[in-house]
Structures are given as structure tokens and as C-alpha cells.
Structure 1
């Protein structure tokens, strides 16, 4: 569920046309009279938070052998086994992709080569977070060749959270404009400009905690949030 939280701060600007003062002095301490044709600009803020519904697991294998050919062949074989294990844990083929492939020498005292190291990475997309622990445990079950390099949480429908934040910011700005217009003793006219700041959808949330999981439901995705600031300029009547 998306939660909306509106910030309380506001920007309030009243401007007259052609450099005419926005307010004229008035008796009895009254703040002033808005000059005909003046405008008001207000800033609204919208913040939306939602729990991620997708996890990306960065897994892989790492092999050391005496020759480059042996290391590469063993790494490819171990990666194929890891892929089979992840498919057996309930993931779809479309949610698995090779993310890394490397082969290189290892040195004792350069340039003396003592062996070769080969790695192959697999990115697994987990769309059902209730199965996250199961998938991680399955990958770790490959054995000493397995490497778990971290996980990232995401919101799959990122556009929805941005739309909701815009809605909240716009409503916040309208409410403030109505309040300030009333305080200024006038009525709102039409909106003459709209501008937006922020609105960047957050990137993946990394999690680098222990990968070998023993407790049930030990992975917590937390929440992601996005904030949008909207400035509306109205004509005043």
C-alpha cells in the first residue's frame, strides 16, 4: 500500500505586474491589498513510500585450477549447475541471466603463475519475496564454489510511485494557494505555470548482509520513497 506524507513547508510569493508593488499600505495594520493582475506562486511537496516487490540476487561461481582451460571448463560446469539449482527453486528462465564471465592468472611472485581463476556470475530476479530466503539458501547450497555477492530490492512498477507523488504534491500546492489567497483577501484565478523538481525514482536498495541464511524470513526489503516538489503560479482576482 502506498502511503502519502505531505510536507508542511511552503513557499509564498506575490508579485505585481511591471514592477508594481504587490501590496499597498492600508490602515489598522491590515497586511495590504493585492494589486489587480498580481500572481501567487506556491510550492507543494509530495512524498510516497512503498515496499519493494522484487529482489535481484547477484550470485555466481569461482574456480581455481592449474591451467586456464581447466579453470574455465570447471567454472562453466559449476555455473550450469547453479542455474539448474535456481530453476529448481522456482525461478523462471527469463529471470536468470549471465552477469559476469572472467578468466585470469594468479601469481605468487610476479611473473610466476601459480594457477588460474575463472568466475561466472548469474543475476537472479525473485518476483515473489516470500521465496527470497529459499532462493538464497538454494544458491548457497551449491557448495564451496558458490559466490553470493549481494542483493538489491526494487519496486517493479516505478511509474506508479512517481504518479502518486505528483498527485500528492499538486494537491498540497492547491491547498496552500487557496489558504494564501484567502489570507490575502482575494480569489484564485487560473493556473498560469507549473514546474516540477525532484521526481527521480530511487535506485535499487542494496543489501550486503549475511547471505547464508538460517532463520526463516530473514531478508527484509524495507521501503523505498520518492519525493516530488511542484510549484504552481496562479493569477489572483
Structure 2
């Protein structure tokens, strides 16, 4: 298992993301690519498709890959010493074929359901496993707005955590009106893993030219305490990652 360095932990807290190279070995990468190639997809866009998998109770190929590659244990190194991430129960694959322009504005993954107790089914960290290379200007997998998770948390502290649900119900609005820095393109090779804070503004990049199919495997992971701490986690975005003094 790869170790998260102190510099990487500081970057995650400051910028809201890190890219860790060479997490999957060659055999694991081939296995993930083979699964993605044979999966059934729903259309999100004429050239962008979505596959979602609910894990089986035992022997699930994608959950086994997550555990064998040590992705969950790497993610745990981002947390305070008293917290752990739960093993995810589902995964998503996004497949993009050229030409695809990609959106130009940031978004966050809005909640899927509002539960009776008020919990908006958010998560803590988005984990993206690159199944192909991401390094050419016309073929980036994702753009991110560094530090936007901090600004979003400040916005929620001032306007209330209900904003995350309100944004999910507002057509065309996927991120609050806060002043953001310029976005950056995330780059790296197949087998790299991106860890991104839930509140980080991000957008899928364009996919042009004679590029091959672009496939990314996503996990959305939560701490075991999120149902009790979600409001604090939103208003204090670093609270799960930095021990209070």
C-alpha cells in the first residue's frame, strides 16, 4: 500500500484534492479496463455514458479491486486518527468518446435524496481511478478549482447547510456564487487515483481529436460518523482531516 505523505495531506487540505500515481498495478489495471469495456452504460450525453454498480455481498470484482489496491487505506491516511472511511457499497464508471466539449463551469455532486431526518445523502471524498492516461491538453479527465472547498464551506456556514439541497433542486445552478481561482487540469497516467473533497468545484474536461475512449472509475466514500457530523463537515470542511487542538 502506498503512503500518503505529509505534503500530500497538506495539499489535500489546502487545495481539496491530490493525485496519487501508480496505485493500480498492471494486472489490476487490466482487470478494471476489462470490466469497463464489457459494462452496460446509460446515456448522459451522446458521447458520454454512465455505468453504476451496486456491490454484491461477496466476491464483487470492483469492490475487490478497491480493497486489493489499498485505496481505502490510502484514503484513511487523509483522516484524523480517530476516523475511518467505510467500504463503499457502489461504484460508477464514466465513459467519454470524442468529440466532447465538457462543461466550462464548476459543480459539486449534489445529493441524491433528502432523508426524513434531514440528512442529504452527501459523502466525504470522491475517489477517481483513471483507467487511461490523462495528460494531453485536449483530453483532460477533469478540471478542478483549487481551494473551492474552503470557500464553499464558508458559504454554507453563512447561509446554512440547506443550500446543498437547494442547489440540487435548482436547474442550471451547480455551485454557489463564490469567487473562485482559475481551474487547473489534473494530469497523470492510467492507474493513478484522485482523492477530491466533496465540496471541491470540478468539471469534466473536453475530449477531442483522435483520442481513445476515456474511462474513469469512481467511488464515493463516507466516514462512519457522517450521519452525526454532516453539518459540521460541510461548514468546517477540514474537520474530518485535521485534529482539533
TM-score by length of 1: 0.20
Structure having the larger proportion of residues in strand: 1
TM-score by length of 2: 0.20
Bigger-Rg structure (1/2): 1
